[in-house]
Amino acid sequence: MEFDKEVDATGLNCPLPILRCKKGLSEIAAAQVLKVMATDRGAVKDFNAFCLQTGHELLQLDATDTHFTFYIKKRSS
């Protein structure tokens, strides 16, 4: 999937992956896509809840046993 910015949150535990995601989203324009890589198992639940609460769209989640990659489209305004 194409993306506009990448954030590496591997090796970080909650809440740091979400905080890095928020910072990354603040650095891109509306409708652009942020790629976030994480290893925290709780990140799947956290990113789903974050997107529901903030209006950003979780476009895709690629997951293995130990790595998770999220593609998040920044909400319009």
Pair 47, 36: CB distance under 8 Å: yes
Higher-pLDDT residue of 77, 26: 26
One CATH from 3.90.1150.10, 3.50.50.60, 3.30.70.2610, 3.30.110.40 for 5-73: 3.30.110.40
Which pLDDT score is estimated for 46? 96
How high is the pLDDT of residue 75? Answer: 97
17: left (phi over 0), alpha (psi -120 to 50) or beta: alpha
Domain spans, the chain: 5-73
* Burial readout 9-31 (b: 16 or more C-beta within 10 A, e: otherwise): beebeeeebbebbeebbeebeee
Q: Is the pLDDT of residue 77 over 80?
A: no
- Per the listing, tokens 């591997």 go with 10
Q: Is 21 among the catalytic positions?
A: no
Quick count: other Cβ atoms within 10 Å of Cβ 2?
6
- Among residues 14, 16, 28, 59, the one annotated as catalytic is 14
3-29 residue pLDDT tens: 999 999 999 999 999 999 999 999 999
